[in-house]
Amino acid sequence: MKKLLLVAALLALLATTSVAMAAQPGSEVRGHGKVQIGDPADVSVSQIDVNAWLDTNGAHGTLDWIGGVGSDTVPPAFPWHMDVTSIDLSGNTAEVCWVVVHSVAPGDIGTEGCFDFTDNSATGAPDEIDGEPIEAGNIIVR
């Protein structure tokens, strides 16, 4: 009876460990950047947070984007909250695609897009979002 309980306990531990390992990120994109995407005369500065990862179940995570709107937008820097739909890694750059799931402008919900995040920590150059150097923050792609 003791051997049967021991075998059952070991099998349960093995199954729990396998599930926990499957949930661990294989690749990830994390960080925050203040960046000017577009003409500063027409578009406000963007603040973009990313917390995205790939595991055996696919892409996961969220992004938040505040700003990046025209000068006639009211309020002048409303946020978008986005769910990650895919991640494509290439060297130190990751394309993270998303869909808007919350906005103060209901018509924006469902909007889809992608950002390229570049981690330039190995070169000493500023990290980039969509090819633009960030003014403040840090992006990690691994």
Query: Is 43 part of any domain?
Result: yes
Whether residue 57 is contained in a domain is answered as: yes
Residue 16, pLDDT above cutoff 60: no
Chain segment 55-112, per-residue pLDDT in tens: 999 999 999 999 888 877 777 788 999 999 999 999 999 999 999 999 988 999 999 9
Domain annotation covers residue 21: no
In a domain, 10, yes or no: no
pLDDT at 6 over 90: no
> pTM of the prediction?
0.79
Residue 91 located in a structural domain: yes
Q: Which domain holds residue 55?
A: 26-141
The count of domains in the chain is 1
Establish if 98 belongs to a structural domain. Answer: yes
Domain assignment present for residue 72? The answer is yes
Q: Nearest-CA neighbor of 47 among 66, 62, 73, 71? A: 66
Residue 51 in any domain: the answer is yes
**Type of residue found at 94:** A
